[in-house]
Amino acid sequence: MSAMTRIKEFTLPDLGEGLTEGEILKWLVAVGDDIELNQPIVEVETAKAAVEIPAKWAGRVSSLFCEEGAVVAVGSPIIAIDTDPGAGDVPAAPATVDGGQGAAAGRTPVLVGYGPRTTAAKRRPRRAVPEAQAATVRPEPVAPAATPVAVTPPPVSAPPVPARPAVVATPVLAKPPVRKLARDLGVDLRGLAGTGPLGSITREDVQRAVEAATTPARPDVRFDESREQRVPVKGVRKLTAENMVASAFTAPHVTEFLTVDVTRGMRALDRLREQREWRDVRISPLLLVAKGALLALARHPMINSTWAGDTIVVKDYVNLGIAAATERGLIVPTIKDAARLPLRQLADELNELVRTARAGRTTPSDMTGGTFTITNVGVYGVDAGTPILPPGESAILAFGTVREAPWACKGKVKVRQVTTLSLSFDHRIIDGELGSKFLADIGRFLADPEAALLAWS
């Protein structure tokens, strides 16, 4: 195998859904490492997720073309792999000053930031030395021979010098008690701007001057760049910002709120945890909210739709998005066709989604195609919010924290577990009546899941 066919350049692949670039987060291999087929070689962050890219060939790493932190276009080479390292060293193409021989021989594997010089070296022009510094010893000047000098007699009379205008001192307006106070405190009244009638100086003006002289000046920290941070907007954070701005100024948002007594719903979760087949499953209130939203979507299918200009696309499947905060920003992975899943499988999908997101391993394909989204602000102790629609969706539900609160129940005030739901929706598709009925159905389910299931079945 020739040297040229042994060395294969691996380019940054298209990681999905129209992405055009990615940032090299971390190299998982180094030059000289022997790697296997499909071994992870680099971690790349796109506008949607951070993913590990596997090796396309087995062999030995001969070059890394990009440093960590570099943003690389899709299709650009990122690594070179020697697929037959046992055949011996690959001869490097010699470089010439005119670039002819090196260019014809092809790419020479080099480390990032170092490469063969392709231009001739040029000597920097010598800086001109001033005449005064040309010699360390300067010869003494030779006095010229004495010559007669003609003396010009002074003029008979000098022109008159104009007199300077007299400086007239502006009198300081101040009452005698104010002048005595200034003398006692050592304040020069001529340096003060009076705030009294006709610009006269008052006692307050004198006292403010004393306070200004005795109070140490505070440093101006408004523009202290040494105490500021610059966080680059890129990757997931950049795409999220662009999507939120586009959504906020495209779809007319309306937000409604509903506070619900979920005491019976929380008891239902406790009974579920006691079931043998659920003992190893992490069960949270989010599972109840997700199930309630899926049932309400089945009762109000127009909520699960997209505005498409002249048409509204109503979808018979629900790709349930769950907003998740990660170190790289907010992402919304989706559970595909969630309405078809039984409750136990829905719980497993929710738990796996959260684990994958926290580990930073959510793939771009897992964050596409969402039709309805839930954001759980309650995990931060927040009661409610006004969420912004993800692009292409017509509604998003915010789920607040579940807390104990005094609540009117059966004619008495009792301590109950309550939560607040916030529903934002696209008013082009969903009017107030539809949005209110949908939100009320979710609240009804959370208030009494068993009764809602019996009534809707």
Instruction: Output the pLDDT for position 136.
Output: 43
Instruction: Output the pLDDT for position 96.
Output: 35
Instruction: Output the pLDDT for position 19.
Output: 73
Determine the Cα angle at 161 with ends 158 and 162, to 5°: 150
Task: Please identify which of the residues 203, 208, 237, 427 carries the catalytic annotation.
Answer: 427
Q: How far is Cα 75 from Cα 331, in angstroms, rounded to an integer?
A: 25
In the CATH hierarchy, which fold is given to the domain comprising 235-456?
Chloramphenicol Acetyltransferase (3.30.559)
pTM above 0.85, yes or no: no
In the residue annotation, 253 being an active-site residue is answered as no
Please list the pLDDT of the chain residue by residue as tens digits (457 residues). 555 678 999 999 887 656 788 889 899 999 999 999 999 999 888 766 778 899 999 999 999 999 998 889 889 999 999 998 887 665 543 433 333 433 333 333 333 333 333 444 344 444 444 444 444 444 444 444 444 444 445 554 545 555 554 444 567 888 888 888 988 888 888 888 888 888 889 999 999 888 888 776 666 656 677 777 787 777 777 777 777 787 777 888 899 999 999 999 999 999 999 999 998 899 999 999 999 999 999 999 999 999 988 899 999 999 999 998 887 778 899 999 999 999 999 999 999 998 998 888 888 888 889 999 999 999 999 999 999 999 899 999 999 999 999 999 989 999 999 999 999 999 999 999 999 999 999 999 999 999 999 999 8
Cα-Cα-Cα-Cα dihedral of 275, 276, 278, 283, to 10°?
50
C-alpha closest to that of 236 among 323, 331, 365, 376? 331
- Unique residue bearing structure tokens 């990122």: 78
Instruction: Output the pLDDT for position 134.
Output: 43
Neighbours of 163 (CB within 10 A): 6
Q: How far is Cα 209 from Cα 216, in angstroms, rounded to an integer?
A: 13
Instruction: Output the pLDDT for position 4.
Output: 61
**Per 3-state DSSP, what percentage of the chain is helix, strand, and coil (rounded to 5)?**
30, 20, 45
Contact (Cβ atoms closer than 8 angstroms) between residue 138 and residue 155: no
Q: How far is Cα 417 from Cα 406, in angstroms, rounded to an integer?
A: 9
Q: How far is Cα 256 from Cα 424, in angstroms, rounded to an integer?
A: 7
Beta pairing, strands 412-426 & 395-399: antiparallel
Q: How far is Cα 78 from Cα 112, in angstroms, rounded to an integer?
A: 10
Q: Domain 3-87: which CATH class? A: mainly beta
Return the SS3 of 124.
coil
Instruction: Output the pLDDT for position 32.
Output: 92
Q: How many Å from the N-terminal Cα to the C-terminal Cα in the chain?
A: 69
Upper half-sphere CA count for residue 96 (Cβ side, 13 Å): 9
Sign of CA dihedral 275, 280, 286, 287: negative
Instruction: Output the pLDDT for position 164.
Output: 52
Instruction: Output the pLDDT for position 173.
Output: 85
Return the SS3 of 445.
helix
Q: How far is Cα 237 from Cα 327, in angstroms, rounded to an integer?
A: 10
In the chain, where are the structural domains located? 3-87, 235-456
Q: How far is Cα 367 from Cα 328, in angstroms, rounded to an integer?
A: 14
Contact (Cβ atoms closer than 8 angstroms) between residue 83 and residue 10: no
Going through 262-371 in order, the beta strands assigned E by DSSP cover: 305-308, 311-314, 320-322, 324-326, 329-331, 334-335
Instruction: Output the pLDDT for position 232.
Output: 79
